[in-house]
Amino acid sequence: MENLIYILLLIIHNIALVGCAAAPFYNLRLVNQRAQFGKKLYYQLDKVVEDTIQGLEPYCWTFIILLFITGFGFSATYYAFHGQLKEFNPTVFSAFILKHIFVLGMVGIAFYISFFINPKIREIFSKFSPDAAPQEEIANKFFSLRAKRKQLCKICFVFAMLILIVSPVLRFY
């Protein structure tokens, strides 16, 4: 039964991690495709980009929450079957610490983007119209915020890859 629980937790955990890694990957792909058009506002195109990127936020948070729940579920399962927490050797403990640093980095970035950058982008975009060119100052602020979000998304993607690299150490040692 213990192994079955571990397998189920691992399936959910891996799906959530892939979801967390996929979001910044595909967002970066979308943003890089959009960048081919330069810093000129194309209302319909930019609306699709924003709706897509910001529409993924609930999924991102769902995956992050699932990662935490299943991550703690591994320890809770071991404790439930053995009456104590699993002891780690130094390699596994180092991987455990690194993984949590990377996860907290991703959470911090996601939080900052979700609650500070995206609301500002939404506010600015609401001032745009498909029928009129935006004021240069407002457009520059819009593209500046997008560039900042892109840089943070790149860092988030690196954290996700590092988590994927470090995670197997936790299971097999």
Q: What percent of the chain shows pLDDT beyond 70?
A: 98
Q: How many CB atoms lie within 10 A of CB 159?
A: 23
Helices (H), the chain: 2-35, 43-55, 57-82, 90-112, 118-125, 136-172
Stated as kind and residue range, the H or E segment containing 85 is: none
More confident residue, 138 or 168: 138
**Per-residue model confidence as pLDDT tens digits over 2-34:** 999 999 999 999 899 888 888 888 999 999 999
- d(CA 151, CA 126) in angstroms, rounded, equals 23
Q: What percent of the chain shows pLDDT beyond 90?
A: 70
- d(CA 120, CA 140) in angstroms, rounded, equals 13
The domain of 40 spans 2-172
The average confidence (pLDDT) of the chain is 92
Residues written for the chain: 173
pLDDT category at 173 given cuts 50, 70, 90 is: low
Which long-range contacts (C-beta less than 8 Å, at least 24 apart) are formed by 77-80?
77/2, 77/5, 77/6, 77/9, 78/2
pLDDT of 95 strictly over 70: yes
Q: Over range 117-136, report the average pLDDT.
A: 96
pLDDT of 140 strictly over 80: yes
Confidence (pLDDT) at 39: 93
More confident residue, 8 or 96: 8
Confidence (pLDDT) at 172: 64
CA distances to 125, 136, 151 from 141, in Å: 10, 9, 15
CA-wise closest residue to 56 among 122, 110, 116, 126: 110
Dihedral over Cα of 137, 56, 119, 132: its sign: positive
CA distances to 65, 68, 72 from 62, in Å: 5, 10, 16
Confidence (pLDDT) at 17: 86
**Per-residue model confidence as pLDDT tens digits over 105-114:** 999 999 999 9
- d(CA 80, CA 22) in angstroms, rounded, equals 33
Number of domains in the chain: 1
pTM for this predicted structure: 0.88
Q: Over range 77-88, report the average pLDDT.
A: 91
